[in-house]
Amino acid sequence: MSTQNDPHSKIPLIPQSNTSHPPPSTLTTTTVQALSLLRLVAGTAALLAPSTTAKLFLIPTIAPGSMGAYQLRLFGIRDAVIGGMLYSAIPRSAGAVEEWKESEKGRGELRRMLWANVVTDAVDVVVTAAAMATGSIGRPGGLCVGGAAVGFLVMGLVGLGKV
């Protein structure tokens, strides 16, 4: 009787691979580094100067000390933390690259952070589209904020495709 047809054989559903993976390409690491730094800058700006940051994103209705400024600061905290965590997951030293080759630990951490980015940005796109549809945000601001979320989403997907 063949072991392929034997229901009691010990073949795992997901085979374990003992082969090492090559480090991420220069395009991948550059894209992921840019994504992490852009998130850090946008998040820090929104946290420290929400009214000014809102104007840069073409949302002129956020006054200093308002609920909108508070909400933009919450966005800032989120983006700064995600950007910082993503930056810390990128292999930069020779030792980190060697760790990539020998284990899944580094790749898994970077993949998790990229998925956090992709999910966050996908939700941002949907929420921005809904806000534009209901008139909660004007077209220029919605296109600016939504466009940034789409850009971040694409950058995260580029990173995920090569990690």
Distances (CA, A) of 82 to 21, 43, 99, 135: 25, 9, 23, 29
Give domain limits for the chain: 26-162
Quote the tokens at residue 102.
Answer: 């020998």
pLDDT tens, residue by residue, 33-78:
999 999 999 999 999 999 999 999 898 788 888 998 999 999 999 9
pLDDT tens, residue by residue, 119-139:
999 999 999 999 999 998 899
Q: What is the pTM of this model?
A: 0.77
Distances (CA, A) of 35 to 61, 68, 77, 78, 79: 27, 25, 16, 14, 11
